[in-house]
Amino acid sequence: MNRPPLAEPYPTRRTLLRTALAAGVAAPLLSGCVTGGGDDADPAAGNTGAKSADNPLGVKAETPLEVVIFKGGYGDEYAKHAGTLYTRKYPGAKIDHQGLQKIGEALQPRFVANTPPDVVDNTGASRLDIATLVAAKQVTDLSALLDAPSFDDPAVKVRDTLLPGVIEDGTFGQTPLTLNFTYTVWGLWYSKSLFAAKGWAYPKTWDEMLALCATIKAAGIAPWTYQGKYPEYINDPLLSMAAKTGGLALVRAVDNLEPNAWKAPGLISAAEAFAELAGKGYLMAGSEALTHTEAQAAWSNGKAAFIPCGSWLESEQKDVTPPGFDMVMGTVPSRTAGDQLKATAVQAASSESFLVPAKAKNPAGGMEYLRILFSKQSAKAFASTAGTLPAVAGATDGLTLSSGLGSVRDAVTAAGAETFTYRFRTWYAPLAKALDDATGELVNKRITAAEWAQRVQKAADAIAKDSSVQKYTR
C-alpha cells in the first residue's frame, strides 16, 4: 500500500492475493485508456473561472468535484478532511468522495469512456500503470499547481513546500504529472523497549551488528527475520549498504545498466555481509517462507530482534503490536570505514501518487484540491493520524509522534541531503525479479556473493542488450 509506486513497485508482489488481483487488471486497463481516446472534445470547457490571488488556479466555485482515494493503510479520513477545507472555501461545490481499494478496476472503464474523476489517488496494487497513462496523455500537467502560491502562505510557491525529491518522483520527461503525498524511508526496525531492557545499543557499523547479533542469539532470540516470501524486502538493506559504500555513483551505475555495475566492490561486500548474516545463523528459522505479515508478526511478538522494512511498518503492525513495544527504525549500518555516505544516509522516496486526469470535468478544482491537500494544515492532520510522514516539509513540526514515526522523522533529519533511491526496479522489472531470486538464494546459503553478483550482472546485461526494452538514464 504505502510503497512508493515509482521507486519500488513491489506492492504487486507484496501480498499473495493482491498480486492475483492486480495483475489481472493492469494490462487491460492500460490499453483501454489508450484506445478509449478519440473524443477530443474538452470536457472541462466552461468549468474554469477567473484566476485571482485567492483563486490562483481559476476554480469555478459551484462546479462539483469528484475525488477517488485509495483507501489503504492510511484510510481516507485525511482526504475527506481536505474535501471539507475545499467546501469551506467553495461552499457551492459538491464533493463526491470515494474511498476504494482497487483503483484500477474502478477507474479503468472511466478512463476508457473519457469520464474520469477530477482527482485520483493512484495507489495500491491495482493502481493504473502511470507510464501508460502518461503515454496516453491522460494526465494533467501540474506545473500550474506547483507554481501557484501555497495554501498556507501566499509568499511561498507550492513547489517550495515539498520535501526534496518529491517533484522529481512525479516528473515524466520534463513535465510534473503526479504529486506523491507520503514520504517513505527504508531501514531496520527494532523494539526500543526490548533493546533498553537487554542493554543492547543499535549498531553503527556492520561489525557492531554482527557482534550484537551474537549477543542477541545467545539471549535466545533470533537476531533477524525477514519477509522471505518476497525477497525484495531483504534486498533493501543490502542495496542501502552498497549505496553507502559506493556512494551515489554506485546507485547511478546500477540504474544506468553500466557494465559490471553489479560487480562493484560495494555490492559484492554488501552481498558478503548478508551471506555472513545467514551463514552465522542470525536469520530466524523459517523466515524464508513467511509472508510479510507473518514475519512482521513474529518480530512484533519478540521472536526476532531486527526486521528490514519501509516506514509504513508501524501503521501496518498497529493491530498486532503489543503495548510498550516501542518500535523504532534505525539506518542500515556502515559496511566499511571508507564508506562514501555517512551511516545516517537513508534510502527514501515519496509515494501515494495523486494526479488530475486530463479529461477531468473540473481540472482546476482538482488542482485546487491538491493545493489544499498539500497544505501544511492538511498534511499535519494526516501525519497525526496516519502514522507516516507526509511529503510536505515541516508537516510534523510541533507534533508528538509515535515512536516509529518519530524515529523515521529523526532519520530523515539526520540524513539531511544524503538520501538516495534506486530506480531500476521500476524501470526494468525483469532485472528486479532476477535480483530478488538471486538474493533469496544468497540469504538461504545456496549461492555465494560472487555468484550472486554474476547472476544479477548477467540479467542486467541481458536487459542492456535487449533493444525491445525502453532505456532510461539518470
Binding to another protein (CB under 8 A): which residues in 98-137? 100-102, 104-106, 108-109, 112, 125, 129, 132, 135-136
Q: For the segment 455-474, give every residue that binds another protein (CB under 8 A).
A: 468
Q: Which is nearer to another protein, 36 or 365 (CB)?
A: 36
8 binds another protein, rule: CB under 8 A: no
Distance CA 446, CA 414 (A): 37
Q: CA 82, 145, 363 angle in degrees (round to 5)?
A: 70
Distance CA 114, CA 37 (A): 7
Q: Which is nearer to another protein, 84 or 293 (CB)?
A: 293
Distance CA 82, CA 461 (A): 47
Q: For the segment 185-244, give every residue that binds another protein (CB under 8 A).
A: 228-231
**Shortest gap between Cβ of 288 and another protein (angstroms)?**
4
Single out the residue of 429, 451, 454, 461 in contact with another protein (rule: CB under 8 A).
429
Distance CA 382, CA 80 (A): 11
**Shortest gap between Cβ of 444 and another protein (angstroms)?**
7
Helix axes 232-255, 265-279, angle to 10 degrees: 170
Q: Which stretch binds another protein (CB under 8 A): 7-15, 88-96, 250-258, 329-337?
A: 7-15
19 binds another protein, rule: CB under 8 A: yes
Single out the residue of 121, 255, 316, 368 in contact with another protein (rule: CB under 8 A).
316
Stretch 150-179: interaction string toward another protein, x if CB under 8 A:
------------------------------
By three-state DSSP, how is residue 419 classified? strand
Q: For the segment 238-277, give every residue that binds another protein (CB under 8 A).
A: none
Asked if 323 and 244 count as a contact pair (C-beta separation under 8 A), the reply is no
Distance CA 474, CA 96 (A): 39
Number of residues that bind another protein (CB under 8 A): 72
13 binds another protein, rule: CB under 8 A: yes
Single out the residue of 208, 258, 441, 461 in contact with another protein (rule: CB under 8 A).
441
Q: Which is nearer to another protein, 49 or 99 (CB)?
A: 99
Q: Which is nearer to another protein, 215 or 291 (CB)?
A: 291
C-alpha cell of 336? 566499511
Single out the residue of 294, 326, 410, 461 in contact with another protein (rule: CB under 8 A).
294
Distances (CA, A) of 167 to 88, 162, 265, 335: 28, 8, 32, 31
392 binds another protein, rule: CB under 8 A: no
Q: Which stretch binds another protein (CB under 8 A): 25-33, 146-154, 203-211, 258-266?
A: 25-33
Single out the residue of 137, 259, 430, 445 in contact with another protein (rule: CB under 8 A).
430
**Shortest gap between Cβ of 61 and another protein (angstroms)?**
32
Distance CA 71, CA 85 (A): 19
46 binds another protein, rule: CB under 8 A: no
Partnered with residue 187 across adjacent β-strands are 309
444 binds another protein, rule: CB under 8 A: yes
Torsions phi, psi for 30 (to 5 deg): -60, -55
Asked if 60 and 364 count as a contact pair (C-beta separation under 8 A), the reply is yes
Distance CA 429, CA 424 (A): 7
Distance CA 329, CA 420 (A): 17
**Shortest gap between Cβ of 380 and another protein (angstroms)?**
24
Single out the residue of 293, 336, 403, 448 in contact with another protein (rule: CB under 8 A).
293
- Strand 222-224, strand 304-310: pairing: parallel
DSSP string over 110-173:
HHHTT---SEEE--STTPPPHHHHHHTT-B---HHHHHSBPSS-TTSBGGGGBPTTHHHHTEET
Indicate the length of the chain as a whole number.
474
C-alpha cell of 156? 511561498
Q: How many helices (H) and strands (E) does the chain have?
A: 19, 12
Q: Which is nearer to another protein, 101 or 336 (CB)?
A: 101
450 binds another protein, rule: CB under 8 A: no
**Shortest gap between Cβ of 36 and another protein (angstroms)?**
8
451 binds another protein, rule: CB under 8 A: no
Distances (CA, A) of 295 to 209, 221, 228, 309: 20, 14, 8, 11
Q: Which stretch binds another protein (CB under 8 A): 150-158, 207-215, 273-281, 312-320?
A: 312-320
Single out the residue of 276, 437, 451, 461 in contact with another protein (rule: CB under 8 A).
437
